[in-house]
Amino acid sequence: MSAIQLTANGLALGASYALVALGFVLIVNATGAVNFAQGDLAVAGGFLTVALAGAMNLPGGVLLPIAMAAMAGFGVVFAYLAYFPLRRQPPATVFISTIALGIVLENGANGLFGAAPRLGPPLLPGGPVELSGLVLPRQSLAIVAVTCVAIAGLHLVLMHTQFGRRLRATAQDAEMARAVGIPVGVMIAWTFALATGLAGAAGMLLSNQFFVAPGDGTNLMLKAYIAVTIGGWGRVWGAVAGALIVAFFETIVAVLLSQSAAEMLLYLAVLGVLGLRPRGLFGETIGRRA
């Protein structure tokens, strides 16, 4: 019984990390730059839904697309602040600019909402679901479901639409894409919008399940970075697998050993992956790392 509950919790945690990691991967692929504010963008999404839930009496299922759309719009603004003015500078410059904007976001949330953790709205109303004696948190199941839909939708858009082909072309070779008439700047702005929309979804889901506090972004970003490193730099499915592996350590390994031991083993496993498969479990799609 405990094993199934643990697995459900682990999957929910991994799914949340995966949404953050996916946005991270999209931007890495499109720009070659690491967006270190991805965790803070998820936190911003969490606080946005806290504010929306306070202002509008709407169910979580309605708030989710609103939050994703609003965050996607903010993603474009973010791109024009953190990426476009510095796009011709070395990648480390963008890396620094995203850290700086992440700090602004964190302190902005602190100023606007205060330091206290906040509870976001549930995606689905109601208490835990009981199945054959098992008590499974409804929100955990919702997180897993939303993440599956988001991943499937992303896969569909990237692999089976003209828009997705243009995005991929931009990610693979921006100069060649520009030469064949693809508006590279617009595609990159769309990529930031998609990535930030996913962060918004992650933020909303996390804010109900695990609360949201201004300082949470750094830890989320670290988990996403590890997930991407394990899965393979720039690999969408690698990011998902990596996120689930991180969550596996935090739940299953933690119950078998201890939380501290699980944390140490996770980082040793990362070192092992880097030593044995430097390009991650699924290989890299790009060769640059920050």
Partner 1 sequence: MRLIQTNVAMIALAAAIVLVHPASIGPAMAQTATIRIPVLVPLTGPLALEGTSQRNGAVMALSNPPAGVRLEYEVLDTGAAPETAVNALERALARGGVSVIVAPIFGAQMLAMLPIAAERRVPLITISGTAQLTEMGNPYVFRFFPNDSVAKNAHALYVVEALGKKRPAVLFQTTAYGQSGRQHLAANFARLGATVVFEEGLDINLKDFLPALIKAKQASADALVLQLHAAPTALLLRQAASMGLSLPIVAGSAMHQPTTAALLQPAERKGVCAESASSPVSSVDPAVERWVAAYRREFGAEPDDFALTQYDGVRMAIDAAVQGARGPEEMRAALASRSFQGLAMAYKSDGVGNMAHDAIIMCYDDQGRPRIDRRYPRLG
Q: Tell me if 131 contacts partner 1 by CB under 8 A.
A: no
Q: Tell me if 57 contacts partner 1 by CB under 8 A.
A: no
Using the rule CB under 8 A, give the single segment among 105-113, 150-158, 161-169, 233-241 that binds partner 1. 105-113
263, 265, 269, 286: residue in contact with partner 1 (rule CB under 8 A): 263
Burial of 56 (0-12, 13-18, 19+ CB in 10 A): exposed
Q: Tell me if 117 contacts partner 1 by CB under 8 A.
A: yes
Q: What's at 272, amino acid-wise?
A: G
Q: Tell me if 255 contacts partner 1 by CB under 8 A.
A: yes
Number of residues that bind partner 1 (CB under 8 A): 40
104, 124, 145, 182: residue in contact with partner 1 (rule CB under 8 A): 104
73, 91, 215, 283: residue in contact with partner 1 (rule CB under 8 A): 215
Return all residues near 257 (Cβ < 8 A) that are at least 6 apart: 265
- Cα separation, 99 vs 78, in Å, equals 12
Give the SS3 label for residue 135. Answer: strand
Closest contact distance (angstroms) between CB of 265 and partner 1 is 13
6, 148, 169, 265: residue in contact with partner 1 (rule CB under 8 A): 6
Q: What angle do CA 87, 281, 260 make, to 5 degrees?
A: 95
57, 132, 162, 260: residue in contact with partner 1 (rule CB under 8 A): 260
- Cα separation, 75 vs 220, in Å, equals 18
First and final CA of the chain: distance in angstroms? 43
- Kindly state the tokens that stand for 192: 């930031």
4, 66, 81, 103: residue in contact with partner 1 (rule CB under 8 A): 103
In degrees and rounded to multiples of 5, residue 273 shows phi and psi of -60, -45
Does residue 101 contact residue 78 with C-beta atoms inside 8 Å? yes
Q: Tell me if 132 contacts partner 1 by CB under 8 A.
A: no
Interface with partner 1 (CB under 8 A): 2, 5-6, 9-10, 13, 103-104, 106-108, 110-111, 114-119, 128, 135, 137, 210-211, 213-216, 219, 247, 250-252, 254-255, 258-260, 262-263
